[in-house]
Amino acid sequence: MKMIEAHNLTKEYTYFEKPEGFKGSVASLFKRDTKTRQALSDFSFSVEEGEFVGLMGPNGAGKTTLVKMLTGIINPSRGDVRVAGYVPANREAAFKRNFAVVMGQKSQLWWDLPASDSLLLNKEIYEIPDKQYRDSVAYFTKLFEMESYLSVPVRKLSLGERMKFELIASLLHMPKVLFLDEPTIGLDAVAQRQIREMLKSAGRERGITLMLTSHYTEDLLDLTKRCIIVRSGQKIYDGDLQSLLAQHSTYSTITVTFSSAKQVPPLPGVQVLEQTDYKVSLRVPKESVECCLKALLELSDVADIKIADDDVTLLVERVYKGA
Amino acid sequence: MRKYFAVMSMEIKNSLAYRADTWLTAIFSVFSVALAYLLWSAVFGGAEVFNGFTLPQMTTYYLLTGILAPLTQSDGLMHDFSAEIKSGSYAKYMVKPMSPLAYFISASFARALFPTILSTAVLAVAMLSFGSYFQVLQLLDLFKAVPLIFLGAVLSMLIAYIISMATFRFTDIGFLYAITNVVKIFLAGSLIPLSMVFGPKVPMYIPFSYTVYYPVVVSMGKSDVPLLSALGVLSAWTLVLLGVALMLQKRAPKTFEGVGM
């Protein structure tokens, strides 16, 4: 069953252009140039129930605009979209009970009150039955290891703890679709990993369909298999993220440590990144990795070998540039 | 309805988080009455009656407008909603199964609750301690004023909500705040009893007069208009503005761009 279906979604924004400087500011009081910018054009895709899909793209590509249209926050200029069988722009209460959206930089928690109060408010807003509420709070606070923080005012919590409560608040009413926009922004590596693990567990056990927007490729690689890449408002890729990165990974870095001093001879097509008597680091085209390894092993006294792909950030940059 | 009682409960708990602010607001309401007394003493200049009001009646009028102020001035929420529309945070009301208008009204009542109770208590003490400076209020008049006070509060909240919705169209509504401040002061009767300016009948046709002027003069037993007539006109205004607010709740967000999200 398709949980999200979008056909030729297009969003145009109008904005005013103002000439720079004081004179421009005064002139704009009387006359302004109206411009139109296409944030998303003819965007079509679908997501199956229970699928985890990543949404990638550089800043200003149109990712958040897409999420805003899928959640009914803004109306599309053209095109059709259905989420859980509903047209988001109609903003029906029944539709709103079927999804949740978490924006990493926007909070739904009440700053001066304990998180438990914000959870209780969501219970009433979503009309969650008492037993379901108690069970869900117990389940998620245990999963996120947040039982002991329920009574702490939100302003006293760390960024990671707050994000965990944001997720708990969003999952209480058992949404069918969860939209996450940069859920791990600003979090340290440990908190990022914890949140990914928890999302995997919650998704697996509750059958949630997840649409994740993130600039952290690790989030996307860990949580989603399929990835949609947006650039300048257009879909440039929809498919397996690992294989896309593999396509763009044309070099490997081979680092060899020797137990005695060695001098590595020049190898055709290979760039030396770092060289000492006991260690060498080489950037090798993928097709030359085997030959290069043979040549290095022939030098003997090899203590350690590490082979790494290109840095994932560079790969993503290449993908965005369409190289 | 339960969800809006939960909103009220959250707002009340939130307002109690900053106790000093709550207490100081109540205490300073006494100063405004004292200042009003000094000002009107100078205006009366020893005269018994001025434009149909005695000095104790004028002081009482001021005291009662002070008590009603938290109920009739949803400025905080109006600014909050406007800022949220401008910053994109308004989306939080759009993605949850609730009515932003009902949220606004329930939150306004909740925010007004403690300041109203505290102002009433503090000003009641002032009234009992300095009885000769005030008019004696009759319990029956106060009861008669209750429905007017309630509907008047709803009317002023609807006005504040409608003004905040203008942010969808104009983005910055500072000019509307300036207009509403003037309206509140002069056309609602916060500064001067409207009968002094417009005579006894005209205020009946000014919607803002039902937010402050009529609840206060009915409480004092000084209304020139029968209670039922005042209630009828107030109900009609409330229904009209409710219709406008509901229409804006549905239509205004169509232009929302969620900029800043």
Provide, rounded to the nearest whole percent, the portion of chain A with pLDDT above 70.
99
Closest C-alpha among B123, B170, B120, B137 to residue B56: B137
- The contact set of A with B (CB < 8 A) is 13, 64, 68, 71-75, 91, 93-94, 96-97, 99-101, 103, 105-106, 108, 110, 112-113, 117-118, 120-121, 123-127
Q: Residue B19 has what pLDDT?
A: 67
| pLDDT at site B260 | 61
Average pLDDT on B36-58 reads 85
Q: Closest residue of A to B2, CA-based?
A: A124
Best residue in B95, B98, B168, B250 to probe A by mutation, most A CBs within 10 Å? B95
Residue A323: predicted pLDDT:
47
- Give yes or no for a contact between B153 and B72, defined as CB atoms under 8 angstroms apart: yes
Q: How far apart are CA A63 and CA A230, in angstroms?
A: 7
- Kindly report the nearest CA distance between residue A314 and chain B, in angstroms: 27
Residues in B touching A100 (Cβ below 8 Å) = 95
Angle of the A241-248 helix axis to the A312-321 helix axis, nearest 10: 90
Which among B96, B256, B257 is the nearest to A96, CB-wise?
B96
- Contact list in A for residue B171 (CB cut-off 8 A) is none
B5 CB near a chain A CB, below 8 Å?
yes
* pLDDT score of B170: 81
Cα A149 to Cα A156: distance, rounded to the nearest angstrom: 10
pLDDT in tens, B79-132: 888 988 988 888 889 999 999 999 999 999 998 888 888 878 877 887 788 877
For chain B, report the end-to-end CA distance as a whole number of angstroms: 30
Return the percentage of chain B with pLDDT > 90, whole number: 26
Give the separation between CA A75 and CA A88, rounded to whole angstroms. 8
**Residue (of A73, A117, A113) closest to A95 by Cα position:** A73
| pLDDT for residue B130 | 80
Per residue in B152-211, pLDDT (tens digit) is 999 999 999 999 998 988 878 878 888 877 877 788 888 888 888 888 888 888 888 888
The model's confidence at residue B257, banded by pLDDT at 50, 70 and 90, is confident
CB contact under 8 A, B14 and A110: yes
B chain contacts of residue A73, beta-carbon cutoff 8 Å = 91, 94-95, 256, 258, 261
Q: Residue B31 has which token pair?
A: 């100063």
Please name which of B155, B160, B149, B151 lies closest in space to residue B104, comparing C-alpha atoms: B160
The torsion angle over the Cα atoms of residues B186, B191, B194 and B197, rounded to 10 degrees, is: -80
Per-residue pLDDT, B224: 79
Distance CA A171, CA A165 (A): 10
Asked if B91 lies within 8 A of A120 by C-beta distance, the reply is no
Distance CA A240, CA A24 (A): 49
Give the Cα-Cα-Cα angle A201, A202, A204 (nearest 5 degrees): 65
> How many angstroms separate the Cα of B55 from the Cα of each of A87, B130, B135, B194?
63, 14, 9, 16
**CB contacts, 8 Å: A93 with chain B:** 97
Q: How far is A63 from chain B (nearest CA, A)?
A: 11
How high is the pLDDT of residue A52?
92
Q: What is the pLDDT of residue B116?
A: 86
Select the residue from B89, B168, B170, B257 to test the A interface by mutation, using most A Cβ atoms within 10 A.
B257
Its pTM stands at 0.83
Closest residue, chain B, to A120 (C-alpha) = B6
Task: Choose among B183, B44, B27: nearest CA to B115.
Answer: B27
pLDDT score, position B261 = 58
Decide if A97 contacts B70 (C-beta within 8 A): no
Answer whether A117 sits within 8 Å of B7, measured CB to CB.
no
- Listing DSSP states for A132-190 in one string gives HHHHHHHHHHHHTT-GGGTTSBGGGS-HHHHHHHHHHHHHTT--SEEEEESTTTT--HH
| Count of C-beta atoms within a 10 Å radius of residue A34 | 8
Residues with pLDDT less than 50, chain A: 323
Q: How many CB atoms lie within 10 A of CB A12?
A: 14
Q: What is the mean pLDDT of residues B20-48?
A: 78
Q: Which of the residues A40, A73, A103 would you substitute to probe the B interface, choosing the one with the greatest number of B C-beta atoms within 10 Å?
A: A73
